[in-house]
Chains A and B, each alone.
Chain A
Amino acid sequence: MNKYSPEHARYLLGIKRRKILVNAWRWGILVIFILLWEIFARVGVIDAFIMSSPSRIIKTIGELLNGGTLFYHVWITLYETVLGFLIATILGSFIAILFWWWATLNSILEPYMVVLNALPKIALGPIIIIWVGAGQQAIITMAVLVCIIITIINMQNAFYGVEKEKLLLMRTMHATKLQILTKLVIPASIPAFISNLKINVGLSWVGSIIGEYLVSKAGLGYLIVYGGQIFKLDLVMCSTVILCALAGGMYAVVALLEKKLSSNRR
C-alpha cells in the first residue's frame, strides 16, 4: 500500500495539506470573528448595546435556558418550519406528478405558475391571516407557500427532462403510463428531488420566520421582532445564532439523506 513513488507521495501530501488549510481557515475565521467581536465590544470600539457581544449572547442563551423558554421557542419555530417543509415537498411533488400526467393541464396552468413563482409570497401575508386565522396555521401556510411553487417547477423540469430515448425504450417494451412514471420518471428524478430538498431547507426557514414576523406569540422569529422592538439586541443576536445552528442542522440531515439515497447509484 505504502509503496508510492516520491512524486505520488508529494501529490498526496499536497492534497492533505490543502484539506488541512481549508479546515483551519474555516474554523479560524469563526474564532477570529468571535474574538474580535468580543474584544472590540469590551474595549469600546463598538457599542455592545447596539452590536451585542459573544459573551452577552451566551449570557442571554443561559437566561432563556434558566427561564425554561428557550426550548419552547425553538420547538415552536422548528415545528412550523419542518411541517411547512414536509407539506410543501410532498404536496408539491404530487402536484408535479399530476402536471406530468396531464400535459395539457400543465400547458394551461403554466402562466399562472410563472406569476405565482415571481410573486413575493409575503404580499399574501394579510390574506393568509384573514383566511386561515392569526396563529400557527398562518405561519405554516406561509412556509408552505414559499416552498411549494418552486418545488412544483423544479420537479416538473426534472420529469420533463427525462431523456426522450429512455421513454422510447419503455414504449418499445410496451410499458403503461403508470409504469413509465414509477419505473422511469420518478427514479430518474431522485437527484432533482434531493437538490430541491436542499433548496426547501433554506426556503422553509424563510417562510416560517416571515410568518412569525407577521403573526406570532412565540418562536425565534417572534424573539427577534420582540428584541428589536424593546431594543434588546442581545436577544436578537442570540435568536439569530440559534437560527443559524438549526438551519445548518436541518441541512445536514438532508445531506445525510442524500448520501443514503445516492449510495446505490454512481
Chain B
Amino acid sequence: MTEFLRLDDVSFNYHSKQGETKALENVTLTVKEHEFFGIVGPSGSGKTTILSLIAGILSPNGGKITLLGKPVKEETGITGYMLQKDHLFEWRTIEQNVMLGLELKRDVTKESKDRVLNLLEKYGLIDFKDKYPGELSGGMRQRVALIRTLALSPKLLLLDEPFSALDYVTRLSVCNDVYRIIKNEKITTILISHDISEAISLCDRIAMLTERPAKVKKIFDVEIEGDSPLKKRESSSFSTMFEKVWKELGVQI
C-alpha cells in the first residue's frame, strides 16, 4: 500500500475573546491507500479539528498536510466529509439531496446523474428517491448522507462520528452497511469516534490522541478476523483489543 495522506508536525490554535487554545500540537501520522483509519481520544481532544484540517476547511498554524503528494489546500474536491447528523435538506427529495454536491460543482450531467442513481440502486434506496427526508428512518437517512458524500467520488472519506446520532440497534446495522459500502467502493477512510468498540470493529489502524493539546499517543494495528463490523464484534480477539485500547486511554473512573 502506498502512502496516501501525511500529517507532519501539524499544530492548530483556536482563537476566541477569552484567549488562545492549543488544539493540536505536533500531530504526525500517515494514512495508507484503501485503509480504514480511526482516530480516538478523549472528548474535546481536537479530533474534529484534524478532520477539518484534512478537508481544507481550516489551515494549520504549523506543519504540513500532504494528500497524494500535494499540500491539502490545493487539493479541493477529493475529500468527502460526513457529519454526525445527516443534515439532509427537508425541502429536497432524496434524489435532489444526493445530487447536491454535483449541483454545487456544476457537474450535473447524464453520466454523473446515472452514477448517483446507480449508487442509490446498489444500496437499496432507489425506491425512496422521490421521497422527502422526513419520510425515512434515521438509519436510512444516514445512508443517504453517505451516498450524498460518495456522489462526488471522493478519494478520501472523512467520517466525523457518523453514527452517534442514531440509537444503538440502528447504529450497529448502519455501521455494518456503511462499512460494506466503503469497502465496496474502495475508498480510503478516516473515522473519528469516541466509541472504542466502534472504532475497533471498523478500522484497520487506530490512532489514539492525548488530552488537549492533542498529540498522537499511540497507534494500534487492529487485526481481527471477520469481514464485517458485526462479525468482528463476535470474534474473541475483539475484547482483547478493546482492553488494550481502553487501558491506553487511561480513563480515571
Which one of A168, A179, A187 lies within 8 Å of B104 (CB-CB)? A179
The residue among B90, B132, B134 with the most chain A CB atoms within 10 A of its own CB is B90
Stretch at the interface among A1-9, A85-93, A137-145, A170-178: A170-178
Residues of A within 8 A of B135 (CB): 266
Residues of A within 8 A of B80 (CB): 172
Asked whether, in the complex, the Cβ of A175 is within 8 Å of the Cβ of B57, the reply is no
Residues of A within 8 A of B79 (CB): 172
In this assembly, does B122 line the interface, its C-beta being within 8 Å of a C-beta of chain A?
no
Asked whether, in the complex, the Cβ of B83 is within 8 Å of the Cβ of A168, the reply is yes
**Which residues, 149 to 176 on A, are CB-close (under 8 Å) to B?**
163, 165-166, 168-176
Residues of B within 8 A of A190 (CB): 91
Number of CB contacts from chain A to chain B under 8 A: 52
**Contact A187 B105, CB 8 Å, known A171-B57, A173-B100, A264-B132:** no
Asked whether, in the complex, the Cβ of A265 is within 8 Å of the Cβ of B90, the reply is yes
Asked whether, in the complex, the Cβ of A266 is within 8 Å of the Cβ of B90, the reply is yes
Shortest CB distance B246–A (Å)? 30
Asked whether, in the complex, the Cβ of B83 is within 8 Å of the Cβ of A173, the reply is no
Write the B130-148 contact mask toward A (1 if CB under 8 angstroms, else 0). 0010110000000000000
Asked whether, in the complex, the Cβ of A187 is within 8 Å of the Cβ of B91, the reply is yes
C-alpha gap A183/B99 in the complex (Å): 12
C-alpha gap A173/B83 in the complex (Å): 12
In this assembly, does A184 line the interface, its C-beta being within 8 Å of a C-beta of chain B?
yes
C-alpha gap A190/B84 in the complex (Å): 25
Query: Which size class do B's interface residues fall under?
Result: 20 to 34
In this assembly, does B209 line the interface, its C-beta being within 8 Å of a C-beta of chain A?
no
Query: From DSSP, what is the main secondary structure of chain B's interface residues?
Result: loop
Which one of A165, A172, A264 lies within 8 Å of B85 (CB-CB)? A165
Which one of B77, B100, B134 lies within 8 Å of A265 (CB-CB)? B134
Residues of B within 8 A of A175 (CB): 104
In this assembly, does B103 line the interface, its C-beta being within 8 Å of a C-beta of chain A?
yes
**Which residues, 92 to 137 on B, are CB-close (under 8 Å) to A?**
100-101, 103-105, 132, 134-135
Asked whether, in the complex, the Cβ of B83 is within 8 Å of the Cβ of A174, the reply is no
Asked whether, in the complex, the Cβ of A165 is within 8 Å of the Cβ of B87, the reply is yes
Asked whether, in the complex, the Cβ of A264 is within 8 Å of the Cβ of B104, the reply is no
C-alpha gap A172/B149 in the complex (Å): 10
C-alpha gap A171/B100 in the complex (Å): 12
Asked whether, in the complex, the Cβ of B132 is within 8 Å of the Cβ of A266, the reply is yes
C-alpha gap A168/B89 in the complex (Å): 13
C-alpha gap A179/B103 in the complex (Å): 9
C-alpha gap A165/B162 in the complex (Å): 13
Write the A179-199 contact mask toward B (1 if CB under 8 angstroms, else 0). 100011001101000000000
C-alpha gap A265/B131 in the complex (Å): 10
Write the B60-96 contact mask toward A (1 if CB under 8 angstroms, else 0). 0000000000000000110111011101011100000
Shortest CB distance B156–A (Å)? 12
In this assembly, does B224 line the interface, its C-beta being within 8 Å of a C-beta of chain A?
no
C-alpha gap A34/B85 in the complex (Å): 56
Closest A residue, CB atoms, query B106: A179
Residues of A within 8 A of B83 (CB): 165, 168-169, 172
Which one of B81, B84, B100 lies within 8 Å of A183 (CB-CB)? B100
Asked whether, in the complex, the Cβ of B100 is within 8 Å of the Cβ of A172, the reply is no
**Contact A170 B104, CB 8 Å, known A184-B89, A264-B91:** yes
Which A residues have a C-beta under 8 Å from some C-beta of B? 163, 165-166, 168-176, 179, 183-184, 187-188, 190, 264-266
Which B residues have a C-beta under 8 Å from some C-beta of A? 55, 57, 76-77, 79-81, 83-85, 87, 89-91, 100-101, 103-105, 132, 134-135, 152
The 8 A-B pairs with the shortest beta carbon distances in the complex, nearest first, are A172-B81, A266-B134, A173-B101, A175-B104, A265-B91, A187-B91, A169-B87, A173-B104
